[in-house]
Amino acid sequence: MTAGATFTFIHPGHPLYAGEMELRFRVLREPLGYTRDDVAFPFEADSLHLVAHQEEGVLGCVLFNPEDAHGGRLFQMAVASHLQGQGLGARLVRTLEAELVRRGFTHVHLHAREPAVPFYERLGYAVFGAPYTEVGVPHRNMRKTLGA
Ligand SMILES: CC(C)(COP(=O)(O)OP(=O)(O)OC[C@H]1O[C@@H](n2cnc3c(N)ncnc32)[C@H](O)[C@@H]1OP(=O)(O)O)[C@@H](O)C(=O)NCCC(=O)NCCS
């Protein structure tokens, strides 16, 4: 179902942005009891937004907020619930990383929900620091050096 997906970097205002926001709400916020008003981040406009889409529908997304010239934070990683486990999340991360390398970034860190830690480990990310709670669920900090 995801083999024909197209990967596009968009910005807020792009026709696919509403679909990205709806996916983020459905996958990342609604299950935790949050509202649509809780989806946007303060650094939304400064971030890279990568969406996987097909026939006008957004199937998955991942965002990256540059924090300095060398690196930043990967966030809002989501795949539509009925398409999870088919490799789309990994393709999104690899596509984002290739663009980050092209732009000269070398470091990525992220706040991983505990159940997603093995997903990021498969992609070369390593846990660091102590566990903590964010949006009401257990998290771990993870990081990766690109090209290492
Ligand atoms: C986490 C998420 C983005 C992963 O995307 P996905 O498309 O389902 O994952 P993929 O099919 O690309 O998986 C890639 C690899 O990671 C593994 N993997 C994925 N989720 C895993 C999990 N929870 N535990 C163990 N392994 C996992 C897969 O088995 C696969 O392994 P392989 O390389 O041997 O085939 C997706 O499941 C999701 O949106 N979950 C809900 C939201 C969420 O938790 N987001 C992350 C917030 S930090």
Quickly list DSSP for 70-101.
Answer: SEEEEEEEEE-GGGTTSSHHHHHHHHHHHHHH
Residue 13 inside a domain? The answer is: yes
Mean pLDDT over 82-99 rounds to 98
Is residue 148 scored above 80 in pLDDT? no
Q: How many CB atoms lie under 10 A from the CB of residue 105? A: 21
Does 25 contact ligand 1 (Cβ within 6 A)?
no
Residue 85 inside a domain? The answer is: yes
Residue 28 inside a domain? The answer is: yes
Is residue 56 scored above 90 in pLDDT? no
pTM of the model: 0.97
71 CA distance to ligand 1 middle (Å): 23
Is residue 99 scored above 90 in pLDDT? yes
Mean pLDDT over 127-147 rounds to 97
The enclosing domain of 51 has a CATH number of: 3.40.630.30
112 CA distance to ligand 1 middle (Å): 11
Residue 107 inside a domain? The answer is: yes
Domains identified in the chain, total number: 1
Considering the chain, what percentage of its residues have pLDDT values greater than 70?
Answer: 100
Which residue range is the domain that position 40 belongs to? Answer: 6-145
Residue 1 inside a domain? The answer is: no
Is residue 1 scored above 80 in pLDDT? no
Mean pLDDT over 45-71 rounds to 97
Does 78 contact ligand 1 (Cβ within 6 A)?
yes
What was the pLDDT predicted at 110? 98
* CA–CA separation, 90 and 94 (whole Å): 6
What was the pLDDT predicted at 42? 96
Which numbered atom of ligand 1 lies nearest the CA of 93?
A: 12
